[in-house]
Amino acid sequence: MTADQVTAPGRGRVYGHLALTLAVLTATGYLARSHWSVLETGALRLALADPAWLLVAAAAAAVTWMCSALAQQGAVLRPLPARRLVAAQFAADAVGQLVPAGLGSGAVNLRFLMRCGMSAGRSATALAVKATAGGLTRAALIAVLATASPGVLGLPRPHAGWLFAAGAVAVLAGLLMAVLWPQCRAALALVLADIRAVHARPCRALALWGGSLGFAVLHAVVLIAVTRAVALPLAPPLVALLYLTASSAAALLPTPGGLGSFDAALALALTAGGAPGVAAASAVLGYRLLTVWLPLPPGLVVLALLVRRKAL
């Protein structure tokens, strides 16, 4: 087997991700141009927002990287250098805004764990353990909030077409699992083994789940504080539910940092939840400013320092 044959599937996946990313960004650019007046008014409203609430949002955003570091420490048994771990999460988040599908942040964290003496396989498994805990935590929060606020998500009533579509998706998922299962079984076995090992040590399990919960909750708090800053009249539990739902849906599209996909999903969710278009645009812009654009330059500087000091 030649090198070209080995790398062709990988190149195909990369090209597919790039094509989908370009399609999403193109659609986002078209929507932004079509609603430019709303975005412009929303930006002006954000400029006049309550600074006290924006400070609360900024503080919550800063703590999210500590929660991410706590969850990553909980996913491994050996102690990691705390300061470098937090710095690596900050740098990984910055890189994740530039590379689609979490590839950038995953690569930074993988390299950091390997620099800490872990093998490549164990490092990848630790990332999978953290991602699994994060996904389950988000799903649990959505279930709790949706149960507490029935009818909020506005799901359509099921009918024959929806049932047929759901059945088709289930069949396709089953076929895909049947094809991929032989390749994923060994990796899944390692992940499950590491999960059992982590939960055999209560302090690690607490760090894993506590950090994952704190990360999701604090990101919701950032959005809640921004909505308060721009005087958006939505209840905090509703805002948290809309954020978690939108971010989970946007994760299905591999755009850098959810650019376009997350923004559109969150704006649509807030509007569906009863927010005026201008206020929803202000909230999305404020959230992105505090969690993406302002931390991006210092995050890249931290990345360069970690690489220079051979911590990555």
- Residue 310 and residue 304: Cα distance in Å, rounded? 10
Burial 15-36 (b: 16+ CB within 10 A, else e): eebeebbeebeeebeeeeeeee
Residue 146 in tokens: 């949706």
For 117, list phi and psi in degrees, rounded to 5. Answer: 100, 5
Q: How many CB atoms lie within 10 A of CB 201?
A: 12
Please choose, from the candidates 118, 63, 104, the residue with its C-alpha nearest in 3D space to the C-alpha of residue 86.
63
H or E element, residue 11: helix 3-34
pLDDT tens for the chain, residues 1 to 312: 444 443 444 444 444 444 545 554 454 454 455 454 555 565 677 777 899 999 999 999 999 999 999 999 999 988 999 999 999 999 998 888 777 656 778 889 999 999 999 988 888 889 988 998 999 999 999 999 988 766 555 544 444 554 555 555 555 555 555 555 465 555 566 667 777 888 888 999 999 999 999 999 999 999 999 999 998 888 999 999 999 998 888 777 665 555 667 888 888 889 888 888 788 888 898 999 899 889 989 999 999 999 998 888
CA angle 29, 42, 98 (to 5 degrees): 45
Report the C-alpha dihedral over residues 208, 211, 217, 222, rounded to 10 degrees. -150
Q: Is the separation of the CB atoms in 97 and 292 below 8 Å? A: yes
- Residue 96 and residue 106: Cα distance in Å, rounded? 8
- Helix, strand and coil content of the chain, in percent to the nearest 5, comes to 80, 0, 20
What count of residues does the chain have?
312
